[in-house]
Amino acid sequence: MKKTVHILLIFISLFFFRGSLAVEAEVDVSMQQETKTLAYLVSDIRIPFWEIMSRGIRKQAEELGYKIEIYSAQNLAKQELQNTIKAIQSRVSGIIVSPTNSSACSTILEFAQKAGIPVVIADIGTESGDYVSYISSDNYQGAYEIGKVLTEKMQALGWEKGSVGIIAIPQSRENGKARTAGFIKALDEAGIKGAGIRQQKDFSYGETYHYSLELIRNTPQLRAIWLQGSDRYQGAVDAIHQAGKEGEILLLTFDAEPVFLDLIPKNILVGAAMQQPFLMGEKSVQALDDHLTGKAVKHEIKLSVLSVSAENIDSLLPIIRRNVLGVSSR
């Protein structure tokens, strides 16, 4: 099952970002001997979010005069360890890691620590170990604000008595918990009831479709569905269509896809909470540089999540394009 998910993710990434095919290790050899080298250990560069982030890292590294070596593990633990050992053995000055999971991050941090190499964690996080800084999105804030977008919309439509269903990422994850808590807070403040929550397991289209249809059928007063991930939004769109509830059930997401720039204005999507991976990459390099240059660095840096709706999409578009989609940097 895991393998199927991985293959599917790879396929989707290739479809949207043909120009940024992932390489296992892209090394700027020209700068290697003169400048310090930084390694970016990423779980899977084929995933657009990490690919956009790697661009931010690269851009900021270039600006600060570092060489950057990117090690994609292809979402494999063995590969991730091998990348780690390889990076350490190549004596990089610092490591930015977006680990396959927080547990694996602990091992990476352990080896890095033994080798005396500073590490900045970009998203995901670690279970244990020492690092310079952990840079992540403010999931709670983002979920709360997109919740506010929804509640205001429902109030505008006079649907205050309607309820809202949630299709969530696993709640064992810290970001999952934070997203749910922020969104529920917004609903509570508006006095709108929740209609139940379904947790994603395989992150497939069918799963999203099935959960959406189930929420619609089980909840007659259902007036909105919020997806905590963006990549399977089509499943929810199709379910609403299938249930004949188009125009009667609103749809929102956390994270964004390029197509959202069209869907939000069309009100197919009411709104989306958008992380800023490009900005996160830039911040990671900056933190590492600050550490290497002896500056104080915040141990944890939270970047805001953009709450995008039809009302503000136009004004946020430049930021979205740069920090969220990394389009402008291309």
Partner 1 sequence: MFKTIRKPINSIYVIAGMIIVLSVLAIMSVSTFLSYHGEKQRIDQEIKANVQDTLLTIEEHIEDLISSYSVNEYSKFIGSEVKYRHLFAMIVEDKNMGAILGKKVYVKGKIRDENWQVVDYDPEDSLQREQLQNAYFTSEKELVNNLGQSIGKIIVVVSDHEFHQRLDNLIYRNLLATFAISALLVATLFLMMRLHLLEPLTNIIEAITQRDSEGLPLEYAPIKGPNEIRVLSQTINHMIKATRVSRQQLMDKSDALRAAKERFQLAIDGTRDGLWDWNAKEGKIYVSEQYEAMLGYQSKDMPDTLEEWLKMIHPDDVDKAQYEIKRYLESKGQGVYENTFRMRTKSGQWLWITSRGKAIFDDEGNPVRFVGFNTDMSKLIQQQEELKKQKDLHQYLANHDTLTNLANRSLFNDRLMHSIKQAQRNGEKLAVLFIDLDYFKEINDSLGHNIGDKVIQSIAKRLQHLIRGGDTIARLGGDEFTILMDDLPDEQSASHIADRVIENFRQPVRVDHHELHLSCSIGISIYPDNGETPTDMLKNADAAMYRAKNLGRNNFQYYSKEMTEEAFERLNMEANIRSGIQNEEFIVYYQPQINSSTQQIIGMEALVRWNSPSLGFITPGRFIPLAIATGSIIDLDRYVMKKAFKEFAAWIDEGLDPGHLSINLNMKQLIREDFVSYLSGLIEQGGFSASCIELEVTEGELMDNPSQAINVLKQVESLGVKLSLDDFGTGYSSLSYLKKLPISKLKIDKSFVDGLPFDKEDEAIVRAIIALAQSLNLDIIAEGAENLQQVDFLSQLGCSNFQGYFFSKPIPAEEMHNFLIEYRRSH
Q: Kindly list the residues in this chain that would bind partner 1 in the complex (CB under 8 A).
A: 77-78, 80-82, 85, 103-107, 110, 127-128
Helix (H), strand (E) at residue 185: helix 174-190
CA neighbor of 143 nearest in space, from 234, 226, 31, 244: 226
Helical packing angle, 233-243 and 205-218, nearest 10°? 40
Q: Which residues pair with 119 in a beta bridge?
A: 95
Residue 111 or 205 having the CB closest to partner 1? 111
Residue 79 or 208 having the CB closest to partner 1? 79
Residue 128 or 328 having the CB closest to partner 1? 128
Least Cβ distance, residue 22 to partner 1 (angstroms): 21
Number of neighbours of residue 33 by Cβ within 10 angstroms: 8
Residue 85 or 157 having the CB closest to partner 1? 85
CA neighbor of 115 nearest in space, from 75, 140, 87: 87
Least Cβ distance, residue 172 to partner 1 (angstroms): 14
Least Cβ distance, residue 265 to partner 1 (angstroms): 45
Least Cβ distance, residue 104 to partner 1 (angstroms): 6
Q: How far apart are CA 231 and CA 236, in angstroms?
A: 11
For CA atoms 91, 292, 330, 260, give the dihedral sign. Answer: positive
Query: Is the CB of residue 213 less than 8 Å from the CB of residue 238?
Result: no
Least Cβ distance, residue 107 to partner 1 (angstroms): 4
Residue 74 or 107 having the CB closest to partner 1? 107
